[in-house]
Amino acid sequence: MAIVTVPDENRTIEDRDAIASYLAGIGIDYERWDTSRAIAPNAPAEEVLAAYSSEIDALKARGGYVTADVIDVNPQTPGLEAMLAKFNREHWHDEDEVRFIIHGRGVFHIHPREGAVVAIEVEAGDLIRVPRGTWHWFNLCETREIRAIRLFQDPAGWAPDYTETGVDSNYQPVCFGASYLPAQV
Ligand SMILES: [Fe+2]
């Protein structure tokens, strides 16, 4: 289950329906998918996509997504720091950012055009859809690993455009449950 915090309001939301409702209010879709199916977290990507094919197909139909893949990031990933550095500054995409978390944890910060910055810590079973144009940034938690299904309308739109506001530097990438990833230097 995700944990949502609003740092500037010293607010934490941990109830599933309350999370979905709050995030809907800032344009972010949040769902929980059943992860009890018989598939290992480290199963090959094709098996993961097959196991969740009904949910993926439903999302494709709803959002116009045409492709799905599985992203794997862990401390052994070549170029991990450079990859993380692309997404830990405030940016947006010309493409929805849709992630279903299979394994690991991370924190999306969402910066609504009006209203407080919201941190969404996601874990296995969480689906998040950050609509195109939404200002956001992403950090891994302490274990520095995440595995997720991604959906794309057009993978060409996935490159980040940076706001360069520096707002991201005002928020620590805090993960709860004693996981904490200090800002990288
Ligand atoms: Fe992004």
Q: What pLDDT digit, counting tens, does each position of 69-101 carry?
A: 999 999 999 999 999 999 999 999 999 999 999
CA separation for the pair 128, 26 (Å, rounded): 13
- Model pTM? 0.92
Residue 181 has pLDDT above 50, yes or no: no
Nearest to 107 by CA among 77, 134, 87: 87
Say how many Å lie between the CA of residue 5 and the centre of ligand 1: 19
CA separation for the pair 16, 62 (Å, rounded): 22
Length of the chain, in residues: 185
Question: What mean pLDDT value characterizes the chain?
Answer: 92
Distance from first CA to last CA of the chain, Å, rounded? 30
Say how many Å lie between the CA of residue 87 and the centre of ligand 1: 6
What are the tens digits of pLDDT across the range 120-137? 999 999 999 999 999 999
Contact by Cβ (8 Å): 143, 101: no
Say how many Å lie between the CA of residue 88 and the centre of ligand 1: 8
What is the torsional sign of CA 42, 31, 153, 109? negative
Say how many Å lie between the CA of residue 40 and the centre of ligand 1: 27
Residue 92: beta bridge partners? 161
Say how many Å lie between the CA of residue 42 and the centre of ligand 1: 24
Say how many Å lie between the CA of residue 172 and the centre of ligand 1: 17
Say how many Å lie between the CA of residue 38 and the centre of ligand 1: 30
pLDDT over 90 percentage in the chain: 84
User: What is the helix (H) or strand (E) element at residue 73, kind and residue range?
Assistant: strand 67-73
pLDDT over 70 percentage in the chain: 95
Say how many Å lie between the CA of residue 98 and the centre of ligand 1: 9
Say how many Å lie between the CA of residue 17 and the centre of ligand 1: 24
CA separation for the pair 20, 32 (Å, rounded): 10
Average pLDDT for 38-58:
92
- Alpha carbon 78 to its chain centroid, in Å, reads 21
Say how many Å lie between the CA of residue 97 and the centre of ligand 1: 6
